[in-house]
Amino acid sequence: MSSVNLKFLLLFITGALLSCNPEKKDVPDKKILFIGNSLTYYHDMPLMLAEMMKEKNLPYSIQQSTYPGYSLQAHLEYMVLSQSDSTFYTRMKEENELTETEELLNNDYDIIVLQERTGQLSIPKALECEILPAIDSIKKKGSRNTEPAFLVFQNFPAKMEYPQQFCREIKCFGESFEACSEIIKNLEQEMEEIRNGVKSLKENTVKVGEMYYQLIKNHPSIDLYDDEIHPSKAGAFLSALTFYKHISGLNPQELTYTADIDETIANQLKAIVEDEY
């Protein structure tokens, strides 16, 4: 399955997986929901995580609502009309309609992962007017029947020339206007902006961005990007390893799974996550 085709994926680790371990056959799956965009679904990252869980007989099912270019707020506002490899059409929802993400939030989950757009957390007005309200709404919708753990996917730095600035159209108190981040002069400043933005959310954070930062600084020969913002297959594997470590607490170096990337690179990524996370 190509990264572009993956918009909405349901993965179940069931039956044969659990039956191979008699002690776990009656243990129900723990359910994970990813809410985000292409930074999550590129190169089937949730599928990579599922394969890691499967290898160690960890009973998790993974579901995702991920659409190209979506902010968290968009997940609560837009109805998906159609999608293909090259096109994606939406409209604003009407009164009494539920978006696909809102429909999913009617189900019960053990873990809900929230992933925001690149650069969004570096824009103070976006944080105040869109991100925090969207997270609050998602948490309320996702906690009606259970109390899931909410995890924030820490964004990784963009692959860009400096200086750079992120600007977005923001809706705030009934008005729309363009808001921008500070001018970002280097990688260190961009990473600090990411850290500060995530810290302001006051949520449990999966530090994917920190793992990217370590690789970019110390192992620049490993290419983590397909383009300026999207992960390469190695980058997606690094994200999955970070989630595996955060959720399971297990040593990723004990995994044999490599997602068909170069074994030497896969082992380097596993070691870095184990050593640095």
Is residue 3 a part of any domain in this protein? no
Query: Is 109 within a domain?
Result: yes
- Report which secondary-structure segment, H or E, holds 248: helix 233-248
State mean pLDDT over 227-254: 98
Has residue 79 got a pLDDT over 60? yes
Q: What is the pLDDT of residues 143-184, one digit of tens each?
A: 988 899 999 999 999 998 999 999 999 989 889 999 999 999
Considering the domain boundaries, does residue 1 fall inside one?
Answer: no
Domain CATH for 240: 3.40.50.1110
**CB-based contacts of 233-236 (< 8 A; 24+ apart in sequence):** 233/43, 233/259, 233/260, 233/261, 234/261, 234/265, 234/266, 234/269, 235/43, 235/156, 236/3, 236/42, 236/43, 236/44, 236/45, 236/48
Is 41 part of any domain?
yes
Range of the domain at 264: 10-276
Give a yes or no: residue 5 inside a domain: no
- Structural domains of the chain, count: 1
Mean pLDDT of 46-54: 98
CA distance 166 to 189: 13
Q: Is residue 15 part of a domain?
A: yes
| Domain-located, residue 2 | no
d(CA 206, CA 202): 12
Band (pLDDT 50/70/90 cuts) for residue 27 is low
pLDDT of residue 146: 87
Q: What pLDDT shows up at residue 13?
A: 38
Q: Does a structural domain hold residue 180?
A: yes
pLDDT band, residue 22 (cuts 50/70/90):
very low
| pTM score, whole prediction | 0.89
